[in-house]
Structures are given as C-alpha cells and as structure tokens.
Amino acid sequence: MHMGSSIDGRIVPSQWPQEMTAALTAIYERLHQQMNGDAWLVGRVTIAEFAKGDPRPAEAVEALPRTSCKAPGASEGPYAVAVDQGAKLQMNIDAINGDPILMILPKTAPDNHLAELRRDGISYIFAGRQEIDLALALEHLRADFGIERLLLEGGGSINGSFLSAGLIDEISLLILPVADGGRNMPMTFDRAPAPAKPLSLVSVEQLEGDIVHLRYRAR
C-alpha cells in the first residue's frame, strides 16, 4: 500500500496548505514511479474522480460471457485498476495518465455495463458472484494480466477491505506535517471494528518539507 496523510491519518487535503499538499503530491508520485508496480489499485470513489464527460450508456446486443476481457488497445501496463462492486462506474476514457483502466466486477454486472466498458476500451475481470472476493481478484490479475506487484492507493474504504482480508504485505506511508482533526473525514484505513494488524518497521526517512516516509512490513 502507498498512501499519504496528515499526522492524524486524514487523507482528504481540502483543508491543508496548498504548497504543502503540492510537495506531498510530488514526493508521492516520485515514490510511486520508483516502486515500479505492474498496476495501481483504487476504490470506486477515487477512480470516479478521473471520469470525463457525461454518462454514455450502451446496450448489449447479446449475452456476454463472465470471463476476463482485455481491451484490444490495452498495453502490458502499468494498469489503473478499480474495484467497482456496483458495476456502475462510467468513465468515458480508457486510460489514466497513459495507464489502461482495468475494472474488477462481480458476476452480477449487467450485460449493458459490460458492453459500455468494451465500447470504451476498458478491460475487466470478475471476482465473485455478488460480493467481490479480493483474494480471487488478485489471482485473476496475476493470471490474466501478469500483475505481480500491485500498489494499493486508496481510498480508506478499499484500504480497509484489503487490510481485513490480510492482503497488504507492505505499507509506504508519507506523513505531511499538518494536524487536520476534521470530524468524519476519510482516513488511511476505514473499516468496521476488527482486531488491529501488527506491523514491523522497515525504515523511517525525513524528506523535504519535513514530510516523513514510513515503511512497514506485515508480520
């Protein structure tokens, strides 16, 4: 997992000083590139921020198989992967900053939505019938798209789901020197109460702007 936050774990920068947010973003992106992932994965809310234009629904002319689909124009990655439990995301683009989009869907996704993804050049896989099985999703990403190193990059809900499933092996966390304190604001991990996950510290590094880079490994 690769994330940035305030010292109290908030991840929405709306109340942070702009120059500090810009510094955090620059460092975050630099480390993202250095990690050399085969793909980066975000949740529905985060990926929706990249959508363009108005929704353009499609209509399927036939029943489509519930098997992985690699868009003809998709390169070998890195991929921009999103978990879409509701199978409702309408992107109107096929890539984010050059990274081909790849959706993780339940098998209950309607044919019309699959037809829309195909029309827009978006790849997809299925992981579970009604509820998405994250462990199964990782298996399909590896087998069908060659994704071995996956960077989990938020938001808090999808991070919490991966944490609960025991699917996070490393954590890269950038701490911006601001105290947010906003009530009910998204945090690095958002999930139902559950036993905490112990970690082992790998390294601590102070970077420019007093940003601290913490690295942990799951025990």
Report, as an integer, the average pLDDT of 171-181: 98
Check pLDDT > 80 for residue 75.
Answer: no
Q: For residue range 37-74, what is the model confidence (pLDDT) as tens digits? A: 999 999 999 999 999 998 899 999 999 999 999 999 88
Q: For residue range 1-47, what is the model confidence (pLDDT) as tens digits? A: 999 999 999 999 999 999 999 999 999 999 999 999 999 999 999 99
Burial status of residue 18 (CB atoms within 10 A of its CB: 0-12, 13-18, 19 or more)? exposed
Find all residues with CB under 8 Å of 168, minimum gap 6, and list them: 1, 152, 159, 162, 197, 218
Burial status of residue 145 (CB atoms within 10 A of its CB: 0-12, 13-18, 19 or more)? buried
Q: In angstroms, rounded to a whole number, what is the distance separating the alpha carbons of residues 24 and 167? A: 26
Under DSSP, the state recorded for 131 is: S
Domain covering 1-36+154-219 assigned CATH 3.20.20.70 in the classification: no
- Bridge partners (DSSP) listed for residue 81: 41, 102
State residue 84's pLDDT score: 98
Helix (H) or strand (E) holding 160: helix 156-164
Domain covering 38-148 assigned CATH 3.30.70 in the classification: no
Give the residue extent of every domain in the chain.
Answer: 1-36+154-219, 38-148
